Structure 1
Amino acid sequence: MNKITRRQALGTTAGALSVLGLAGATAHAAVTRSRPATPATPAAPATPAGTVDEVYQGRRIRIVPASGGGDDHGGHHGGHQSPGQPTVLIDGRELHVMRNADGSWISVVNHYETFSGPLPLARAAVRELQGASLVPMGGMR
């Protein structure tokens, strides 16, 4: 009787999960591409110090650039984001964003899609949310 080793079982499982992950990412990309293009609203004039404040598809997007110093977000939410990252708010709720090494941006809403900057990323998150509210990281508050 042939017995499978732990290493073989883990390798098979890892391979299967990789295939499922690729299939899911491909399906997500296909859905994203099949959506009709939403006309972008013109960018609101930048407010002082590069802050963006606009209404996009009925949702208020506000982007506040990081300030200098150690705590770039005024101590909000325990400083989840990395220093130097802007604070992106949709209807007053924080959208957690991250800048990749190649300069592109991702968020918790669009984690597998990259964007050229925080504003296109926030607009895509608004489209993806389809009217739903952002939930704080770490569960309900």
Structure 2
Amino acid sequence: MNPSERIDELIAGITDWRGKTFAGIRKCILEADPEIIEEWKWMGSPVWSRDGMIAVANAHKGKVKLTFAHGAQLDDPDKLFNAGLEGNARRAIDFLEGDRVDTRALKKLVRAAIDYNHQHLKKNAPKAAGAKARASEKA
């Protein structure tokens, strides 16, 4: 079973409001960028990545938590982050029963995470690209 199928199965197994919220979050993330990859990590956590991890989601008793790997580095003008605010790296959004997923703001935050990943990788890219070019020239 591939990661997307596992996530489908996970969401289908959550029969209360959390399943619907989880599905809405997932849909929003995938719509933010067509190159986002779904992964299944840590013995049962859906993870979304593009050039590095963007976010991980989990359904807990009473909430659905969406944690951004580099959330502390992201601008959050719409004030979506409401958990993990004291951390140096991660930030999270706890969705409670009755909360609406602000799709516009969440997509914007996902795109900011992708931009962060691109910038972070570009810092190290010139060395790696230069080394590869030199290696292929020698071959």
Query: Fold-level match, TM-score > 0.5?
Result: no
Structure with the larger helix share: 2
TM tier, shorter chain? 0.3 to 0.5
Name the TM-score, length of structure 1 as normaliser.
0.32
Q: Which has the higher contact order (CA 8 A, sep 6+)?
A: 2
Name the TM-score, length of structure 2 as normaliser.
0.32
Find the structure with the greater CA-based Rg.
Answer: 1
